[in-house]
Structure 1
Amino acid sequence: MNKIIKNSIKALSLCLLATTPFISTACSDDDALVTDHSWNIEGNTIVNIKPERYKLLRNPMNGWVIYSGIGDGMMMNFWDLYDNFESSEGTVKVSDYGSTLYVRGLWSNFNPERGKYVWDETLQTGPAKRFRMLVEGAKERNLKLAFTFVCDSRDKHDDACPAYVKEAGAEGFTTTTGSVNVWTPYPDDPIFQKEYEEFLTAFAAKYNDPDVTQFVSGFGLGQWGETHTLKYSTGDETPKQAVFEWITDVMSRLFTKVPIMINYHRCLLGNKGFSDADTGVAADMVKRAVAKGFCLRHDAFGMKQYYKDWERGITTTYHGVVPIIMEGGWVESSHGGSIAGDGYKNFAEVRQGEYDEAKGGYVNMMDLRFDTNVNTGETHSWFNTAFHLVEEFIAEGGYRLYPDRLSIPTTARSGGSVSLTHRWSNLGWGYCPTNLRQYGDKYKLAIALLDKSTEEPVRIYIEEKADISTWMKGKPKTYTSNIKLTDVAAGTYTWAVGLVDTTKENAIGILISARDENQTLKGWVKVGDITIQ
């Protein structure tokens, strides 16, 4: 671990259950050490746990996002490059620092012909070959996937929209990129909407899977797919609200198990880009999208003329409501002459500016962008001019949960009742988004009795009153759980706590920030023994 981080952060002092026993609970908000909870329970012992601060924990909607794409610029040796990446700390494996592989591409890359998709085994060349390489490599490296589809051809050398959409009669407009004419459909065109919805339906049938997909990002509309500078068939913004309702309804209906994103900026679905548009309208659209199940992302972190107080206000409003993810705005290979306008002298200062803005915005995820020249891309810049920030985000960014103090019983009678008091902290500036509609309240705090020889649970008790999404930095939560030891045979067991996925027979779903010696191989955190007579 980089010394800068160590100096800057102070360390703080399958046997499945037949039923899920009920726990009666008392809990309090923002607990100090002295609360109405009893720590000195007769027969209990106090256990203090020190967190593990630095190790990468691949948890839902948390961590660094490694960018890739399936267009012509993506090299087939992507993983070789990223597995042997030169950094200021020597050769590193980039995937050792990330949780997600972000696959970007044109709609036409993902869906070259009607009814044919990039994931089909029948497609073996071009984008399909690159897609398969990326997806298989992500699985090998324990990375989940994220996706963006771009429908707008401006700035592209190929049509972002599949040819069959225009052939079906969709109306749009032509622009020129270099010497190439490209075509973009109007987002309010009914034929375009029908065809795009059919593609999204096919994609969701394949990738609406939380075991594979981390999130689906944005609508794909507007320049760069960032939902600004749209061109409507009317020539003005009259269709904007109708388009908003259509695309948000479609995505919220289709993606029921994986998070979806909306870009939050003042020109949301407008015909301008980066202007001081009607912020009240944009704020209302963000509010309505969040109500439909959308999370938030912004693609201009660190760009001071674009990311301003209005955007900061959005992150303050929705901190703890939905996760916020960021993408930096400045691109080293093409914006080197522009950063001075924001007061940056070099890209080390750009990375620091992005990091500071991300911290102020409570983001859960940050970006490691790819460039065809790996020696000038954003990933190269992070790993060579700001490596300490890469590690610092793992330690401090997003969320990092652990129980710092517990009062546990050491002896009991089979069939009797015991009480445990336990306090939980979040070391990260973000939050754990267990409240997302797509997660369906599946993540729960659990207390287990482990078999001492196998370290497998013999009983799991779900703590229904604990809302993990409310665990914020500097505001620990304390619970007192009363457990009835029904049908527990006499013997010595190990108390353990975990954050489980109730849709997977209460397997660990969120890793706790505990040291290796305190954890089982499956992620339960051991807190002490109990002898049951």
Structure 2
Amino acid sequence: MKPKYDGQSVLRNPLNGWVMYAPRNADDTYWDIEYFVPALGKKVKVIDYASACYVRTSWSSLNPSGGVYAWNNPSSKIGKLLKGAQKRGLPIALRIVVDGRDQGQNTPKFVFDQGAKYYLENENHPDRQTPYPQDAVFRKYYSKFITALAQEFNDPEKTSFIDAYGLGKWGEAHYVVYEDPKTATPESTEKIKEETLEWVTNLYAKAFTEVPLVINYHPLGRASRKLGSCKSKQRTLIG
């Protein structure tokens, strides 16, 4: 066989290449972003070289009220963004943020209305609530949300990868709040940390069976070492 040489086309390999980093409030002009590339001597459209559209967004933006999901709402900005990627044949990648200390209401208000316990770092910002990840009410509604998310995005044709953690500041495991810092002890925090890691990764692994799962996790002692002993064949945990 003598394949025809092609030095121009971009081969989009799974989990390789560049991603378009999409803000949650992106509009349709987002797809027209161009950058000047000196080596080419011209501007190029980013989407022509991207392997995935990476969306780091809040739980509240995707699930603003009970049973309501943005991907089913063609008029929502985040819904348009997700559908726009699908229409252009670009798989998406998702990280869901729940921590509210820096960005506001990242966990839907209805979860707190149902009694989920939370930490409030600054009383001057009452909407910046951060749920305790071991709280039963939080877990009930978060599990329901992740299950619904998987029903839509557990598909390698439309999804590049899913972040299987998402706790802490910006969903990056920065300073995860497991207990009220005023009463927490190192021993109790370590115990909750390890149990929470097992819970959240098991939740994602059970829901997402067809797409890679990744995790951004800091070297915080015992819990981080548990990553090496995960037995589920459905997990791909990348530190």
If the length of structure 2 is used for normalisation, what is the TM-score?
0.85
Distance in 1 of aligned mates of 2:213 and 2:116: 26
5+ residue gaps, structure 2, are: none
Tell me the residue number matched to 2:21. Answer: 67
Among 72, 90, 95, the residue aligned to 1:143: 90
Task: Determine whether 1:213 maps to 2:159.
Answer: yes
5+ residue gaps, structure 1, are: 1-46, 268-277, 299-533
Task: Give the C-alpha shift of residue 197 in structure 1.
Answer: 0.3
Tell me the residue number matched to 1:96. Answer: 48
Name which one, 1 or 2, has greater alpha-carbon Rg.
1
Task: Give the C-alpha shift of residue 185 in structure 1.
Answer: 0.6
Q: Cα 1:256–1:166, aligned 2, differ >3 Å: closer, same or farther? A: same
Among 254, 257, 265, the residue aligned to 2:218: 265
Task: Give the C-alpha shift of residue 289 in structure 1.
Answer: 3.9
**1:344-363 equivalence runs, <5 A:** none
Deviations 1:93-133 (A, max 9, x none): 10111110112211000100011011123x62xxx2x2233
**1:297-336 equivalence runs, <5 A:** 297=238
Question: Which is richer in strand?
Answer: 1
Task: Give the C-alpha shift of residue 222 in structure 1.
Answer: 0.9
The CA RMSD over aligned residues, in Å, is 2.5
Task: Give the C-alpha shift of residue 283 in structure 1.
Answer: 5.0
Deviations 1:51-90 (A, max 9, x none): 867642123222211110324xx3442123x1x4444332
Secondary structure at the counterpart of residue 149 of structure 1:
strand
Secondary structure at the counterpart of residue 215 of structure 2:
strand
Task: Give the C-alpha shift of residue 169 in structure 1.
Answer: 0.8
Distance in 2 of aligned mates of 1:242 and 1:282: 8
Q: Cα 1:50–1:133, aligned 2, differ >3 Å: closer, same or farther? A: same
Task: Determine whether 1:285 maps to 2:226.
Answer: yes
Tell me the residue number matched to 1:172. Answer: 118
Deviations 1:148-190 (A, max 9, x none): 110101211x21110111111111111349x633111101111
Task: Give the C-alpha shift of residue 227 in structure 1.
Answer: 2.0
Identical pairs, percent: 36
Q: Which amino acid aligns with 2:91?
A: K
Q: Cα 1:106–1:213, aligned 2, differ >3 Å: closer, same or farther? A: same
Q: Which amino acid aligns with 1:293?
A: Q
Distance in 2 of aligned mates of 1:266 and 1:86: 38
Question: Which is richer in helix?
Answer: 2
Q: Which has the higher contact order (CA 8 A, sep 6+)?
A: 1
Tell me the residue number matched to 2:168. Answer: 222
Which piece of structure 1 moves more, 214-223 or 146-155? 214-223
Among 77, 91, 98, the residue aligned to 2:29: 77
Secondary structure at the counterpart of residue 209 of structure 2:
coil
Secondary structure at the counterpart of residue 147 of structure 1:
strand
Deviations 1:257-283 (A, max 9, x none): 11111224303xxxxxxxxxx3xx255
Q: Cα 1:239–1:120, aligned 2, differ >3 Å: closer, same or farther? A: same
Could you tell me whether the CA contact under 8 Å between 2:164 and 2:204 is conserved in 1?
no
Distance in 2 of aligned mates of 1:160 and 1:253: 24
Distance in 2 of aligned mates of 1:218 and 1:168: 25
Secondary structure at the counterpart of residue 180 of structure 1:
coil
Task: Give the C-alpha shift of residue 141 in structure 1.
Answer: 3.1
Distance in 2 of aligned mates of 1:139 and 1:206: 12
Q: Which amino acid aligns with 2:215?
A: I
Could you tell me whether the CA contact under 8 Å between 1:262 and 1:289 is conserved in 2?
no
Task: Determine whether 1:198 maps to 2:144.
Answer: yes
Distance in 2 of aligned mates of 1:63 and 1:204: 24
Q: Which amino acid aligns with 1:161?
A: T
Task: Determine whether 1:243 maps to 2:184.
Answer: no
Secondary structure at the counterpart of residue 67 of structure 2:
coil
Distance in 1 of aligned mates of 2:95 and 2:228: 22
Which piece of structure 1 moves more, 205-214 or 284-293? 284-293
Secondary structure at the counterpart of residue 72 of structure 2:
coil
Q: Which amino acid aligns with 2:64?
A: P
Q: Cα 1:292–1:168, aligned 2, differ >3 Å: closer, same or farther? A: farther
Could you tell me whether the CA contact under 8 Å between 1:265 and 1:282 is conserved in 2?
no
Distance in 2 of aligned mates of 1:225 and 1:292: 24
